[in-house]
Chain A
Amino acid sequence: MNNLERMKKFHQAKWNEPVIYEMSEPGERAVLVPGPCCDCVSTDDALATLPKEMLREGVANLPEVAQLQLVRHYNHLSQENIGVDGNIDIGQGTCTMKYNPKVNDRLAGQPKVTEMHPLQPAETAQGILEIFHRTGELFKEISGLDVFSMQPGGGSHGVLALASIVRAYWRDKGEEEKRDEIITTLFSHPADCAVPIVKGYKVVIIQPDADGYPDIEAFKAAISDRTAAIFFTNPEDTGIFNVRIKEFTRLAHEKNILCCYDQANANGLLGITRTAEANFDMSFFNLHKTFGAPHGCGGPATGMVAAKKELRPYLPMPLVEYAPEKGYYLDFDLPKSCGKIKSFWGVAPVVVKAYSWIMALGADGLREVSRVAILNNNYCMKKILEIKGASISFPNHPSRIEQARYSWQKMKEDTGFGTADVQRCIADFGTHYWSSHEPWVIPEPFTIEPSESYSKQDIDDYVAVLAEIARMCYEEPEAVKAAPVNSTVSHTDHDYFDDAAKYAITWRAYNKKYDGYFEPKKK
């Protein structure tokens, strides 16, 4: 049996699992709670100390389920979820889906990490502080920058940290009011656009030129004494490396503008070129993407910020530092800091995982990560472009870095089926596919990022699935319309998500709006 036939036989776990409230049996319990610690005070006497008007009447309407039944329920839900470990997860371009070594989870999941209180005296937390510090030291070489904060809780949070640093910097220079614009590009991550607005900036978006690069003439016209910073991603979501990136930073620096590099797509650049070589003042890196920590269904994560030493005073406080006389410690002495970005100091388990990942690979290994990510991407690209109906954005670029943005526009014109139909169909083959960030400037887009974790066979298999779906679109329209048929659920009525009269965001909201299985309440 070839691999396409194998994948056609796929059938995802389908348990028709109830909502947990439907499993509830009064009196059941999965876990018991310790009783009173001693008999010096009874529970009733303790409760009597509380103000009567602040005591909850009755109990919260939580489900009542015994332990086996609860474990089984969640195991069923996990089986109805694929994840990186269960599929060739290259269809989620821009997100660098890759293998997350199990040893890292073991290291970060042990009590020496999990049972640490953030406010413990530094002398009792030397190990975890040392991991933070060592990770920063590694990034000095990986980024070419000088100072670090592990505080941000994800990539968008990293952008928030950058925007906050920009504001603190200009406040200190007395130009906070004047410098009220941030420039970004159309193919950068949505957060590069949305976050500066939260920090009170006007956002100017540079459109791509005919080659897919940010239009440098538009950029020259946009920068001014009002520009506080530029937020550029490179490579952008098209996978095209901006060969003029240094020209952008040069032009910006001529007007004293801060240059912020979104390095969420750094997986193809390790050991090849860095933030420093592009002459950016600061950047962020996603430890949960490039640096091998798992994505956890959407976090917890880390969007580590790196900056030139001149910007150290503005970084989020505290920073993790080392001094021979006191060891590793948290430095709060940053009077010009942009403030705090996150509760406490950052997501320690993610930092432990990233540290372990880097220390397992070393300099040669990191470079091999990028070399293979590039090789995989270009191999994948050539194969995808052999599929009828598929094309690529800005086809004048013969190669791409770590990902590429493609289009099904031709197939849509020929068959009426586009990217959303491919997305529905692919669930029947045991794998995943995402379209692309909005706006869809590239019509009927899809973005594929075959990071270094996937084998040649994996890529062949994935592309074979895309080719098979394209064939179905051209030859078996009824089969495409019916999909998904082998997945956990059949077609879901998305009309229920955009209408206030119909959406139900919790079980109780569902029960309030409907009598039974989506029969509206009679008025």
Chain B
Amino acid sequence: MSKKKMYPYIPNSEPVVQEEMLKFIGVDSIEELIADIPEEMRMKHAMELPAPFCDEAGLVRHVNSILNKNNTADELVCFLGAGCYNRYVPALVDEVINRSEFLTAYAGEPYEDHGRFHAMFEYQSMMAELLDMDVCNVPNYDGSQAVGTALRMATRITRRGEVLVPRNLNPDMLKAVQTYLQPDVKITYVDYNEKTGRICLDSLTEKLTENAAAVLIMNPNFFGVIEDKAQKIADMAHAKGALMIACVEPSTLGVLTPPSHYGADIACGEIQALGLHMNFGGGVAGFIATHDDPKFVDEYPSRLFGIAPTDNKEWGFGDVLWERTSFANRDSAKEFVGTHSALWGIAAGVYLASMGPQGMKELGEAVVQRQVCLKKNLAGVKGLCLDKFSGTPFQEIVVDFSASGKSVEEINKKLLEKGILGGYDLEKAFPELKGCALLAVTEKTSADDIKTLAAALGEILA
């Protein structure tokens, strides 16, 4: 008889141990334990899967042989943004979230997973300071869900069924929001001003009625442009009894005004830029923040960790308003909660604590300086126009190549031949912006990167 194969991840695959356990149970085989499963439901053949890589070395060689086909954003020169940013992740962020006590934990209780509750409370607290709000949730799936839930919260708070969404919202985000709001929340779209790239106030005036639960803005918007009339928009929303919701990029808030200062009732968005690797779009997590008002707090579907005293004068932590959640209330819950993106919240917390107030300010300054530098370097390139929108950009700019007669796709292909990841092709989601691309910088973008891009575009467009 050949020796039974051993599995390093399955200690009780050892036959002697199995025999002993079966004897204790009082059966002769594992098969007896699943005798309930009807024969007609059994698989009639062994699963046909590829031969496994039983040794770890072989597995690593195999998986790496596939992954090595990738060219990373760091191996190339990256100007892609559009909702995911090639930011620098400090080493200590990875160090903390790869500690197995955090990485392998799940739903532990306050007494034995105290550290997780504590770390998440700190994340909530730092996000709240950045946003100048008093409440922030444990991260949900991504910025899209944060926007979708913020809009649904507004419909419950105002008891109205329509939301106003700007056309200059991130289109990838918009698609997920549309799915999330179907079928009962009506979306009315507000145009953007084709000259400024900002929300068109005339369109908003026309669309905004007393049916609106909320007016959403994205700031900076998808074109990278700052919505500097945000206070006006908030005033308009409030005048009609609607809430103002701002989807903001938190990494900009060291320099830009927090949304609560211009009247946002709910702030929401994506934390990828706060110390999360891009992970091919998998390093995303959403936040929602509000004032400390029960009317709002009651409507969160996600977990909220609060601080409380213990019998011994220590900091204790636990779930606030557990009865809101679907864990407690199934069919009468506020939306639903499940496994979301908690670890990314710890990462963002470490990041914010690493940067501190000055770091976040300097980060914003570094980004805006590179953006202006990029514009300056591209200004001399013939065949491109930087004046598509007159609104002020922060970290991304719209570049119009239409005068060159070349498509963005064509230009990007040539840039890639030179090792450059060009901008996001805006025509895909905005047909009226044919020939336009969105170029992003981060604090990782160097002067050489910018010069390389300008020189490459100079050659391609010549």
Contact = CB atoms under 8 A, between A and B. Distances in A.
Interface string B93-111: 0111111111111111111
A413 interface: no
B143 A31 contact: no
Interface stretch (A217-225, A387-395, A449-457, A464-472): A449-457
Contacts of B331: 193-194, 197, 203, 205
Contacts of B64: 107, 112
Contacts of A80: 114-115, 118
Most A C-beta atoms less than 10 A away, residue of B18, B358, B366: B358
B334 to A, nearest CB: 9
A92 to B, nearest CB: 6
B107 A92 contact: yes
A494 B446 CA distance: 51
B202 interface: no
B462 interface: no
Contacts of A79: 101, 115
Interface stretch (A1-9, A47-55, A253-261): A47-55
Interface string B397-429: 000000000000000110010000100100000
Given A92-B107, A119-B84, A295-B339, A30 B326 contact: no
A157 interface: yes
B59 A103 contact: yes
A33 to B, nearest CB: 4
A276 to B, nearest CB: 9
Contact of B21 (A70, A379, A432): A379
A46 interface: yes
Nearest to B291: A509
A401 interface: yes
A111 B72 contact: yes
A206 to B, nearest CB: 13
19 contacts: A12-B112, A38-B373, A77-B116, A81-B102, A156-B337, A191-B326, A197-B331, A299-B339, A316-B179, A343-B281, A345-B280, A363-B48, A364-B52, A369-B10, A399-B36, A507-B122, A507-B128, A508-B128, A509-B134
Contacts of A323: none
Contacts of A123: 416
Contacts of A203: 331
B283 A117 contact: no
Interface string B37-77: 11011110011111111101001101110111111111110
Nearest to B46: A363
Most A C-beta atoms less than 10 A away, residue of B21, B106, B329: B106
Contacts of B73: 115-117, 120
B36 to A, nearest CB: 5
A76 B114 CA distance: 11
Interface stretch (B22-30, B186-194, B206-214, B237-245): B22-30
A295 to B, nearest CB: 4
B278 interface: yes
Interface string A69-113: 011011111111111111101001001011111010111011111
Nearest to B83: A343
Given A50-B368, A190-B336, A297 B24 contact: no
B252 to A, nearest CB: 9
Contacts of B329: 190, 194, 438
Contacts of B138: 298
A506 B123 CA distance: 9
A423 B41 contact: no
A343 B52 contact: no
A191 to B, nearest CB: 5
A199 interface: yes
B431 interface: no
A60 B357 contact: yes
Nearest to B72: A115
A505 B80 contact: no
B372 A46 contact: yes
Contacts of A474: none
Nearest to A433: B109
Contacts of A493: 308-311, 316
B168 interface: no
A453 B314 contact: no
Nearest to B270: A343
A210 interface: no
Contacts of A448: none
Contact of B103 (A32, A105, A344): A105
Contacts of A246: 38, 40-41
A81 B92 contact: no
Contacts of B356: 28-30, 62-65
Contact of A117 (B27, B78, B101): B78
B330 A84 contact: no
B59 A359 contact: yes
A74 to B, nearest CB: 4
Interface residues of B, number: 218
A438 B328 contact: yes
Contact of B320 (A63, A197, A433, A505): A505
Interface string A195-239: 101111001010000000000000000000000000000000000
A427 B111 contact: yes
B359 A494 contact: no
B365 A127 contact: no
A299 B327 contact: no
B447 to A, nearest CB: 4
Given A21-B125, A298-B343, A506-B121, 10 more contacts: A63-B353, A65-B353, A131-B63, A297-B113, A297-B120, A298-B106, A300-B283, A344-B281, A430-B112, A497-B321
B61 to A, nearest CB: 11
Contacts of B27: 378, 399
Most B C-beta atoms less than 10 A away, residue of A341, A488, A495, A500: A488
Contacts of B450: 37-38
A199 B24 contact: no
Given A197-B331, A245-B41, A505-B134, A372 B12 contact: yes
Closest 8 CB pairs of A and B: A344-B281, A156-B338, A118-B281, A362-B52, A492-B316, A81-B115, A296-B343, A194-B326
Contact of B12 (A41, A349, A456): A456
Contacts of A344: 83-84, 172, 280-282, 284
Contacts of A82: 101, 105, 108, 112-113
A358 B86 contact: no
Contact of B52 (A131, A134, A159, A365): A365
A505 B305 contact: yes
B66 to A, nearest CB: 5
B129 A62 contact: yes
A174 interface: no
A382 interface: yes
A419 B387 CA distance: 66
B203 interface: no
A458 B17 CA distance: 13
Contacts of A55: 255-257
Contacts of B357: 59-62, 64
Contacts of A54: 226, 228, 230, 256-257
Nearest to B54: A360
Given A63-B126, A121-B412, A101 B322 contact: no
Nearest to A152: B141
Given A53-B257, A62-B357, A103 B56 contact: yes
A48 B450 CA distance: 21
Given A60-B360, A83-B100, A368-B7, A273 B42 contact: yes
Contact of A294 (B103, B126, B305): B103
B370 A347 contact: no
Contact of B109 (A111, A423, A455): A423
A376 interface: yes
Contacts of B152: 198
A455 B369 contact: no
Given A55-B256, A200-B184, A243 B36 contact: yes
Contact of A438 (B7, B76, B327): B327
